[in-house]
Amino acid sequence: MLFGGRYSTIALRNAIIVSTADVDQQLTVDVGGVQYQAVAAGTGASCWSPRHNPGTTVAPAVTDDLDLGYKVGSLWWDSTADILYHCLDASDGAAVWQAVPRTGSWAGAVVAGTNVASAGANTGSYIRIGTRVFLFGNVASVDPTAAAATDFTVALPIASNFAATTNANGTACGTVFYGNVTGSVAGDVLVVSGTFSANTTSDIGITASYTII
């Protein structure tokens, strides 16, 4: 049995025999600067809380596995890419980490372009998975000046750094409008391009995705 507290010089936590009392006392050990808490009586990795990595600047690799204290459920925060990962499999040399989806509202500013007299606000939502963002929005009351080719832009919910128009893609449609969505390299915004079949104000729905670069 170990007494509750923190041990800063322990090197082989998995060899420690953890008692029920250790678990009750929330025994914590420090192994190379990483803290683990006893969660079950016995010996081995299953007796200790999973390792988390809250302050790194890179994505996890297949070698960030059980040998380093990671377990299914471990969390890894890549602050450079702004992505949170969780561990699905901590097998030795074959760890599987998955980016945690993030959701939010999308109210990107709309800027009228060719053949647009005025346009209302955009409302919608997004899902981010790793470096890919999926968008669902609606631009209200797009008022064309004629039944002709039309374009306008919508701001992104999360900034990118488009290197090509194909870094974003999608479709846009309304009662009398159909078009596509691409990216603007110069403006780092979405470009909605299409044609109004009639000179009639229409709400335009947008479904698109883009890459954060």
Each residue's pLDDT tens digit, 62-82: 999 988 889 898 999 999 888
CB 114 within 8 A of CB 125: no
Each residue's pLDDT tens digit, 21-60: 888 887 888 777 777 888 888 887 778 778 888 878 999 9
Regarding pTM above 0.85, the answer is no
Cα–Cα distance for residue pair 145/152, rounded to 1 Å: 13
Within the chain, how many helices (H) and strands (E) appear? 1, 17
Same domain, 91 and 170: no
pLDDT at 2 over 80: no
Same domain, 122 and 112: yes
Same domain, 110 and 203: yes
Same domain, 76 and 169: no
Cα–Cα distance for residue pair 159/177, rounded to 1 Å: 27
Same domain, 23 and 35: yes
CB 63 within 8 A of CB 30: no
Cα–Cα distance for residue pair 67/20, rounded to 1 Å: 25
Quote the mean pLDDT of the chain. Answer: 90
Number of domains, the chain: 3
Domain of residue 27 covers 1-49
pLDDT, residue 11, reads 64
Each residue's pLDDT tens digit, 86-134: 999 999 999 999 999 999 999 999 999 999 999 999 999 999 999 999 9
Arithmetic mean of pLDDT, 177-186: 97
* pLDDT level of residue 3 (50, 70, 90 thresholds): very low
Residues forming a β-bridge with 37: 28
Same domain, 2 and 45: yes
Same domain, 96 and 37: no
Arithmetic mean of pLDDT, 158-184: 97
